[in-house]
Structure 1
Amino acid sequence: MGEINVTGLGKAYKNYPNRWSRLKEWLLPGHAPVHQLNWVLQDINFTVNSGEAVGIVGINGAGKSTLLKMITGTSQPTTGNVSLTGRVAALLELGIGFHPDFTGRQNAYMAGQLLGYRVDDLNGLMPKIEEFAEIGRYIDLPVRVYSSGMQMRLAFSVATAIRPDILIIDEALSVGDAYFQHKSFDRIRDFREQGTTLLLVSHDKQAIQSICDRAVLLNAGKVELEGPPEKVMDYYNAMLAEKANSRLEQWEQEDGRTQTVSGTGEATVRHVYMLNAKGEQVDTINVGERVTLHVIADIHQDIPRLVFGYGIKDRLGQVMYGTNTHITDDVAYSLKQGDQVTFTITFDADLGQGSYSMQTALVSTDTHLVDNYEWRDLAFVFNVINIDKHHFAGCNWMQPDIGVSIS
């Protein structure tokens, strides 16, 4: 079984004031160094246990790809060490190791041998690799005529031809068509069920929250936060909008879930509650029941334009539905300090059984990245139960009309 241990890991590159300084340092090794160290990563510590899936997230330049290169051994750390147990398959930079003038089949053999496959193994695996990649006659054409999506298909098919103990994937799966992405994630889920350890770098919030047991947030070359995927992704989302005089807070609620609140504070949510058709406050409702969500916001400074956004998330933190008043053309204008605004949203709760939460946003446009007055996750938690609908699976109630004809 596979396990990853990262201890005190750091990576620095030498910066020289000019080209002659490098030569001087080489020729006079006993003298004081003339370079300065530019640290890309510092003091990274985490463990991925056997059979666990961990996601690595962070803005561009946070050090995610550098970290994976050191874990896979394609780059050496300046400090610290990495230990891996089990057979490793890695899919890092798209097409890495592929020669553009060789055919896909030839590249598959070369890439497979780099992963530790024997030629005899690859002879037997090639039909499965071709079948999964679904690139047809292109398998015998030079890789230079491939699209980026075709390269990803072939690279992923080779890397996962045999179930590895550890599977490491960078952003490569973000390239290509939706069909193959679904197919790839199905294979990843199958591997997980069979005990493969997964380390995944992705900006895809849904992928991190649906596949991973835990997430690690990198920021400025250090571990900013580590914990449940929903907690880390909520923090990451708030961090993207953080500006001067903005707060970003997290605290654990009674049910063990972590609430995240961020924003500059010109407007804040005072109270959130849900009413049923009888006007009663409820937090448990029936599948398909018509309800109204009430969100009361306080205005602390004059605001020329206020947009309210909300989203319904399942227990894993995946958004079931979300919109805002910029999209629906219900913007509030010319608000004054001391005003109180009430937003009401009436809808049929066509959701599957389970626990859900509401996230709210008070902003000036259709995104919280411009003026994030307040972003609040887990603003309201409610449960959906099935009282009078036939049994169904999934997170949405659709009430289908099914016809059957025999001829």
Structure 2
Amino acid sequence: MTIILVSHDLQLIKAYCNRVIYLKGGTVQFDGDCEAGCELYLRDTTPAVRSPSTEALEVRHDSLAFGNWHGRIQSVVFVGDGAERGHFISGERISLEVSVQLFEPVRCPRLTLVLRDVRGYNLYAVNNSQLGLALVAGDNGLIRVRFSFVADLQDGDYALTLRLDDAISEKVQVLLDKRVGVISFRVESPQKRFDAVVNLHGSIEALLP
């Protein structure tokens, strides 16, 4: 039995479908993997992104990449504790180093890190601008950064997406390279300390009646 779901809800599609057909103007733009199709739809319909020359696309068995290739995310590796074993304990700090190569001048390079769960839901995202760091390329166009965050997450599998933009303004960004699910990891929790997915460190106190 085949069930056809017609929707603009990307999270619903990712949760229930194993194949997606993306239509634009009555023409099939993509037919295949849900993650890839949803990313292409998001690329074409997000009004805050102005990237007219993002035609290049790479779909691999484990990740998706697209952009205008004026800059490329060259490598993403975990470093420090847990890097070699590929999994982390809930509450442990995760660090990863990212190398970027710019092939032509970029006015305001911005690198965004997105944390997603196994269903493709965005749980957390941050970029260098939000963290108060201006990225400056060396003479060879190389930029190296280290992201770090506390994985206060429930047991499960997670993936990281990286996005490189020329952030001309808050509303105008040119997409240079986006690597979807470029690196994944597992979180284990020996002792359950909270429910759902993310620990927001809530507190409770008893009050006098």
- Superposition TM-score, scaled by structure 1 size: 0.44
RMSD: 3.0
Change in Cα spacing, 1:342 to 1:282, as seen in structure 2 (3 Å) is farther
Task: Give the fraction of aligned pairs with identical amino acids, expressed as a percent.
Answer: 19
Change in Cα spacing, 1:299 to 1:279, as seen in structure 2 (3 Å) is farther
- Is the 2:155–2:188 contact (alpha carbons within 8 Å) kept by the matching residues of 1? yes
Identify the residue that residue 275 of structure 1 maps to in structure 2: 79
Identify the residue that residue 197 of structure 2 maps to in structure 1: 395
Identify the residue that residue 26 of structure 2 maps to in structure 1: 221
Aligned counterpart in structure 2 of residue 341 of structure 1, from 140, 143, 150: 143
Residues 32-71 of structure 1 aligned to structure 2 (within 5 Å): 49=2, 52=3, 54=4
Aligned counterpart in structure 2 of residue 252 of structure 1, from 54, 58, 61: 61
Q: What 5-or-longer segments of structure 1 have no aligned partner?
A: 1-47, 55-198, 254-258
Shift in Å at residue 279 of structure 1? Answer: 8.1
Instruction: Output one character per residue of 1:141-162: Cα deviation in whole Å (capped at 9) or x when no partner.
Output: xxxxxxxxxxxxxxxxxxxxxx
Structure of higher CA gyration radius: 1
Shift in Å at residue 357 of structure 1? Answer: 0.8
Cα distance in 1 for partners of 2:171, 2:84 equals 29
- Is the 2:78–2:95 contact (alpha carbons within 8 Å) kept by the matching residues of 1? yes
Cα distance in 2 for partners of 1:314, 1:261 equals 18
- Is the 1:302–1:337 contact (alpha carbons within 8 Å) kept by the matching residues of 2? no
Change in Cα spacing, 1:201 to 1:347, as seen in structure 2 (3 Å) is same
Which one-letter code corresponds to 2:68 in the other structure? T
Cα distance in 1 for partners of 2:37, 2:183 equals 19
Residues 170-249 of structure 1 aligned to structure 2 (within 5 Å): 199-202=5-8, 204-210=9-15, 212=17, 214-239=19-44, 243-244=52-53, 246-249=55-58
Shift in Å at residue 353 of structure 1? Answer: 1.1
Residues 8-407 of structure 1 aligned to structure 2 (within 5 Å): 49=2, 52=3, 54=4, 199-202=5-8, 204-210=9-15, 212=17, 214-239=19-44, 243-244=52-53, 246-253=55-62, 259-276=63-80, 278=81, 280-333=83-136, 335=137, 338-365=140-167, 370-387=173-190, 389-390=191-192, 392-403=194-205
Q: Between Structure 1 and Structure 2, how many residues are aligned?
A: 204
2:173 partner SS: coil
Instruction: Output one character per residue of 1:217-272: Cα deviation in whole Å (capped at 9) or x when no partner.
Output: 1023122223443232123234556634741121213xxxxx21111112111111
Q: What 5-or-longer segments of structure 2 have no aligned partner?
A: none
- Is the 1:275–1:282 contact (alpha carbons within 8 Å) kept by the matching residues of 2? no
- Superposition TM-score, scaled by structure 2 size: 0.81
Shift in Å at residue 295 of structure 1? Answer: 1.0
Higher RCO (Cα < 8 Å, 6 or more apart): 2
